[in-house]
Amino acid sequence: MSGHTGSSTSGAASAAPAVDLRGAAVERGSRRLWSDLDLDVAPGEFIAILGPNGSGKTTLLSVLLGLLPLAAGEVQVGGRRPQQGSNRVGYVPQQKALDASVPLRGRDFVGLGLDGHRFGPVFGRRRRERREHIADALHQVGADAWSDAPVGRLSGGEQQRLRVAQALVGDPDLLLCDEPLLSLDLAHQRVVVDLIDRRRREHETAVLFVTHEINPVLPVVDRVLYLVDGRFRIGTPDEVMTSETLSELYRTPVDVVRVRDRILVVGHEHSPVHHTGENDEPLPATSTLAS
């Protein structure tokens, strides 16, 4: 079934959308993951993308990065077709520890966000501008002290902060984040979320944030795109993260419980609901989906 359950609204009628999807559909092999997706993302808007593994969350980011064509429909990023290597789009990947033997310094690692797709040395004014951009990106994420540090010897949280700087060094209008909080403790999760939220507020950078857990980003999210087996919902967290909506998406009873400022999503016994994290293993009864 295609995603006819989706809807969208524009966050800023006066500004061109950072992302514009119309009747969009994506496929992996012979499988259509979702279709008929209409979505406008306004400058400065923060959208969380949730759903079980295999629902097409990362695939959507691949489309916006220009790495994968749509199977149907139209897509524009900043009024243009997506293009690989564009500095107008920043990308923050999942946190994965770099080997201690990696010879890159912090500034070299961040610089890959400017010219990692290019070959050859940089000279003259362009070299000076490149150095200034890198220094500014390091400063934005509070990583000035790691400019000359070997990245492989930094902690996971410090490395992820540099990944955010790498995504920001090209001064992007759109920031795509693919589960960047995985393997980070709560303190480092808050740091990364605060960095990204500050960037979008100060520079009106739109953010699409794939996550298996909404609570770390709940205070900063404007809307949620929830994908399940070709179906989807788009709306505010209060509109989407409800027992009624998620039960309809999963086609099984799901309870959404709010405890203070947290959302717990609970699948019933024999439910096909899956945890939306790395393992994609079925959860037992009363386990949380988004905690």
Do 195 and 161 form a contact (C-beta atoms < 8 A)?
yes
User: For the chain, what are the domain ranges?
Assistant: 19-267
Count of alpha carbons within 13 Å of 265, Cβ hemisphere only? 29
The pLDDT assigned to 71 comes to 95
**DSSP strand pairing (72-77 vs 19-28):** antiparallel
> What is the pTM for the complete model shown?
0.82
CATH number of the domain at 19-267, please?
A: 3.40.50.300
In tens, the pLDDT along 135-181 reads 999 998 889 999 999 999 998 888 988 999 999 998 999 999 999 98
pLDDT per residue as tens digits for the range 200-240: 999 999 999 999 889 999 999 999 999 999 999 999 999 99
Among 87-101, 112-126, 191-205, name the most confident range. Answer: 191-205
Look-up of token digits 């770099």: 98
> Is residue 282 over pLDDT 60?
no
Does the pLDDT value for residue 132 go beyond 60? yes
Per-residue pLDDT, 116 = 52
Residue 109 · residue 66 · CB < 8 Å: no
With beta carbons less than 8 A apart as the criterion, state whether 228 and 249 touch.
yes
Q: What are phi and psi of 232, to 5 degrees?
A: -155, 160
